[in-house]
Structure 1
Amino acid sequence: MKTLFAHRGMSSLAPENTLSAFSLVPQYGLDWIECDVDILADGTIVVSHDDTLDRCTDRSGSLYDLTKEDLQDIDAGSWFSDEYIGERLPTFSDFITLVNTLKINVNVEIKSCTAGWEMSDKLIDGVLAELKNLNTTSDLLVSCFNPLVLAEFKRRSPRTSVACLFSREMLLEGDWLSVLQVCKADAINVDDTGLTKDQVIEMKSHGYAVNVYTVNHLGRANQLFNWGVDGVFTDVGQTFPSRYRHQNQKK
């Protein structure tokens, strides 16, 4: 089955990694949401791609200096459009509650926490604690660029499917197969840039699911699926034809 992952939600229609962006996903017939999680100073797990506020909010500064109470005063929507003025950065708990309502599948990317291993360790524990509340009917994939974090997550949650994330440079320079094996990975989530058919075939030959990010052109997505890719992450899921959709598509 060809899978479309809504990259940070419907991130071309609503501000990325917000509840509004996630809420739109089922309306457009996608079965999977991708989100990013990191940690605040007080241990709260928050949904955010960046470890700073600068790009996607009305504030500047590090996530690692914030507490849950600070989120009330941060606008994560007005940068995108007036329609989303006042949108908040969601906690991971907020996200899980929404996912359970939407009855949808999730790929949770654990960020490579730049605050050091102590915070990364707390991030893993916090993610695991929240995932206990995820509806068992939802499929779950946990991914990370940092193999140390992913391997430790897998050690603590051996039944959870995990995917190693690779940039183009990591794929070319590193021993990707050993990394996948050490992490006991089920899948590889790989950068679209420069990805070749031979690379996809080799990855598949070792028994791994192959998901590609971030694919916003229909022709490229079609090519990748014809090569045997299992899924693509996209910002523009609403543009894909019905053959890729599995839920109630918005009319």
Structure 2
Amino acid sequence: MQLSKVIGHRGAAGLAPENTLASIRAAAEVGVKWVEIDVYPIAQGGLVIFHDDTLERCTNGSGLTLDANLETILSLDAGAWFGEAHLGEKVPTLEQALDCIQSLGLGLNLEIKYEGADVEAVVPPILAVLAERWQDNEKLLVSSFNYAALEMCFKVNPLRHLAYLVEEVPSDWLLKLAAIQAYSLNCYYLPLTEEQAVAVKSAGYKLLCYTANEPDLVAQHWEWGMDAVITDDPRQFMHLEH
């Protein structure tokens, strides 16, 4: 895996409207080599790059994201809320995002944003698009808070690099990482302890931390063995890549 130390969160959420092609391009423009985005399954099998369960915060739409069809979501403005410069920016499909990211030569941490139980219906279509569109498996990390979704990923394609996403490190983290032959544990930087970080690294896993936007907040995390920071403002961390 060709992981870098700095991963742009939702593209570069501090620089452009999150989870849009503009955000991905903004990350690339400041030198980021990897981005994290969210794939969200919607009505009738659509797959879009979006984070929230509702449409209001990041678009001019309203209602539950899950219930929206593709035509509706693609008609929304996903940039005006961020500023006039991004008026008319659209919610991308998974395919559009994959093509954009690869055209920029970036690595991808793709988070499956799905809280439901029906992973058998949701995960295989996502993996099918990846199989069709994504070329370099060493530049792809699939993550989720939904452990059942990761289990389904492992069942469908055990060669994919998987990351278990958590807020606080759970007591059974080692069992869960081992069962899916995970690449990394991705956790919220704030509650992480030195003891936990050292244990994860000692067990042979990578450790990624989200979402820190100031270097001072994770200065000690690098000392503990953190491999990468996921950040809204990659500019604050780009000195680490040189």
TM class, shorter-chain normalised? over 0.9
Shift of 1:100: 1.8
Match of 1:226 in 2: 223
The secondary structure found in structure 2 opposite 1:42 is helix
Identity %: 34
- SS of corresponding position for 1:33: strand
The CA distance in 2 between the partners of 1:14 and 1:32, in whole Å, is: 16
C-alpha distance in 1, partners of 2:12/2:225? 25
| Offset, 1:219 | 1.6
How far apart are the structure 1 equivalents of 2:236 and 2:198?
27
For the aligned residues, what is the CA RMSD? 1.6
How far has the Cα of 1:68 moved from its partner? 1.6
- The Cα shift of 1:156 comes to 0.5
User: Deviating runs (4+, > 4 A) in structure 1?
Assistant: none
Alignment of 1:47-62 (within 5 A): 47-62=49-64
Provide the secondary structure at the position in 2 that maps to 1:25. Answer: helix
Deviation at 1:242, TM superposition (A): 2.5
Counting only pairs closer than 5 Å after superposition, residues 86-165 of structure 1 correspond to structure 2 as 86-114=88-116, 116-117=117-118, 120-132=119-131, 133-136=133-136, 139-165=139-165
Where 1:26 maps in the other structure, the secondary structure is helix
Q: Which runs of 5+ in 2 are unaligned?
A: none
Change (3 A) 1:68 1:99: same
Does the C-alpha gap of structure 1 residues 241 and 63 become closer, same or farther in structure 2, counting only changes over 3 Å? closer
Q: Deviations over 1:168-223 (max 9, x none)?
A: 2xx25x41111212222111001112212111101111111000011111122332
Distance between the aligned counterparts of 2:44 and 2:238, measured in 1? 43
The alpha-carbon deviation at position 81 of structure 1 amounts to: 0.6
- The match for 1:217 is 214
Q: 2:17 aligns with which of 8, 11, 15?
A: 15
Structure 1: 5+ residue runs without aligned partners? 246-251
For residues 225 and 97 of structure 1, the distance between their equivalents in structure 2, rounded to whole angstroms, comes to: 32
- CA displacement, residues 60-109 of structure 1 (integer Å, 9 cap, x when unaligned): 11122222211232111111111111111111011011012111100000
| Per-residue deviation, 1:48 | 0.7
